[in-house]
Structure formats: C-alpha cells, structure tokens
Amino acid sequence: MEIKMPIFSARIKELRKERGLKQVEMAQLLNCAENHYQKIEYGQVNIPSLTLLFLADYFDVSTDYLLGRTDIRETPGKSTAPM
C-alpha cells in the first residue's frame, strides 16, 4: 500500500522511539486499537485534526513539523528561554 504521508509516518515513529514508547502504548494514549495505530504510523490511514493537535502537544512539536511542512520542531512563538 502506498504511504499517504511519508514524512508524518517517519516523524511520528521517530518521536515515539525517542520517548521510548511502544506502538501499543501509543495506541493506549490515543485510545485506539494497536493495529489502528500501526496503520497511522505506516501511513495507511489519515488522522483527524484533533489527533494531530494532540500528538503535536504531546511531543511538544508543531503540527507543521509533524506534517513535514518545516524541519523546525519548536512551536512558533514558544520561548525556550527561562522566565
């Protein structure tokens, strides 16, 4: 099957592995079946916009980063400087 969003698929997998999470744990986090999460990660299904927003917040990256529209992980306007 053709991957619909190859950059998204690669980035979500990379971010999951950076956190040391397994696919089953991601499925639990998203309240879906493990095989459905695998389809998300393999690019076989598209995700709802609310799920995209949740993942961006969870991994502390922008939605544009997840979608491959930028290579900058930080959310625009977010300051990393201490207050």
Q: Name the CA dihedral angle for 23, 27, 32, 33, rounded to a multiple of 10 degrees.
A: 40
What is the residue type of 58?
A: Y
Tokens for 38, please give them.
């695998």
Q: Which amino acid does the sequence have at 49?
A: S
Q: Determine how many CB atoms are found less than 10 A away from the CB of residue 71.
A: 9
List of domains in the chain: 6-67 (1.10.260.40)
The reply to whether the predicted model has a pTM over 0.75 is: yes
Joined together, the tokens standing for residue 78 give 């977010």
Query: What pLDDT digit, counting tens, does each position of 20-75 carry?
Result: 999 999 999 999 999 999 999 998 888 999 999 999 999 999 999 999 999 999 87
